[in-house]
Amino acid sequence: MQLTISPENPLEWLALRANLAPIPLLHVQIMPVLAKAVLEAADKGIFEAVKEGRKTLDELTTTLHLNRKALGELMGLLTAMGYFTYKNNQFSLTRMARRFTLKDDPFSVYGMMIFNNRVVWDWMNQLGNYLQTGEGIQYHDSLSTEQWQYYQEAMVAASSTEAREFGRRAPVPKGATSMLDIGGSHGQHSAALCRKLPALTSIILDLPPAIEQAAPLLARQGMGNRITYRPGNALTDDFGESAFDIVLLSSLAHHFTPEQNQLVTDKVARALRPGGVFIVNEFIRPELGAKPDLIGSSTDLFYGLSSTAGNYSVTEIQQWQQTAGLKAHKVISYRTMPGRVMVAAKK
């Protein structure tokens, strides 16, 4: 799966081949507007307003207390983007929008839309500074309570689809009874494995302000005391010795430097039981010159901006695991999320 600019007919194909289409204009003039339109639509409740059935522009204008002309422009764009259809003067949600934009759908990315609109959008202004200094925002040190809540809800949104595939395909021992989920937040990955392995219990190690906001999200999973929290810090806490059959580090390695990841992996190796599995679950940084991958490369830059670190290659992750005395086990690419990979090692 790739995000691409693709021709719709042979003449456009020729124009692209002949380098006649001003691609940068699409990137700088069109793409930021597309992203911001979807974010504002979610934040203004536009998707929710059409949830129960078709609505005219006048009805939406009245319900949402928005400017009719401006809303009409936004609805035109969202229709062109495939979020709505327009027939008989009425807008309806498409199948895609119904599944992914509504607050309560289990696959919804609504939480990510709100976090990105209210918190992350402003970070983009700091990209120039990041390029000059190499210093990222380090947002874990500065979020307000409200922003921690948006962040944790965004993490649920980001991983709902992935967690299902993780539960089905993660290469874990069938008889596993004990798991450590480092930076596990909402616990969707732990819950997916607990549903599959009846004897499994999991401990989520996360920062205290994260747990405060994530606990109600975990409660929604209905796993009772099979998944519990341990407030702490992965960089400074000891994980114990021969205590776990599974250790997961999902979307946290990109916040850590290579040295910090090595330190964490060394502690994981000690904490695993013989035969236990360590999974690093991440977007992968494409090597320079490798096949273009917009998702791997854009998340790499974004994590650099937000946390100073960034994505790593599969080889780098395996290097930490081997240095810690673990054996390479499996590398599994997600089918539902391009650029996303589980890198598993065994003790």
Q: Write the Ramachandran bin of 160: left for phi over 0, alpha for psi from -120 to 50, otherwise beta.
A: alpha
Q: How far is the CB of 285 from ligand SAM (least distance, A)?
A: 16
Q: Is residue 251 part of the contact set for ligand SAM (CB under 6 A)?
A: yes
Q: Please choose, out of 88-96, 193-201, 223-231, 251-259, the segment that lies near ligand SAM by the rule CB under 6 A.
A: 251-259
Q: How far is the CB of 110 from ligand SAM (least distance, A)?
A: 15
Contacts of ligand SAM in 83-112 (CB under 6 A): none
Contacts of ligand SAM in 200-239 (CB under 6 A): 205-207, 210, 233-235
Q: How far is the CB of 248 from ligand SAM (least distance, A)?
A: 7
Return the residue of 78, 93, 155, 279 that touches ligand SAM, per CB under 6 A: 155
Q: How far is the CB of 282 from ligand SAM (least distance, A)?
A: 9
Q: How far is the CB of 69 from ligand SAM (least distance, A)?
A: 39
| Binding-site string for ligand SAM from residue 158 to residue 187, where x marks contact by CB under 6 A and - marks none | xx-----------------------xxx--
Nearer to ligand SAM, 76 or 231 (CB): 231
Q: Is residue 140 part of the contact set for ligand SAM (CB under 6 A)?
A: yes
Q: How far is the CB of 134 from ligand SAM (least distance, A)?
A: 20
Q: Is residue 339 part of the contact set for ligand SAM (CB under 6 A)?
A: no
> How many whole angstroms separate alpha carbon 25 and alpha carbon 122?
22
Nearer to ligand SAM, 199 or 235 (CB): 235
Q: How far is the CB of 183 from ligand SAM (least distance, A)?
A: 3
The contact set with ligand SAM (CB under 6 A) reads: 140, 155, 158-159, 183-185, 205-207, 210, 233-235, 250-252, 255
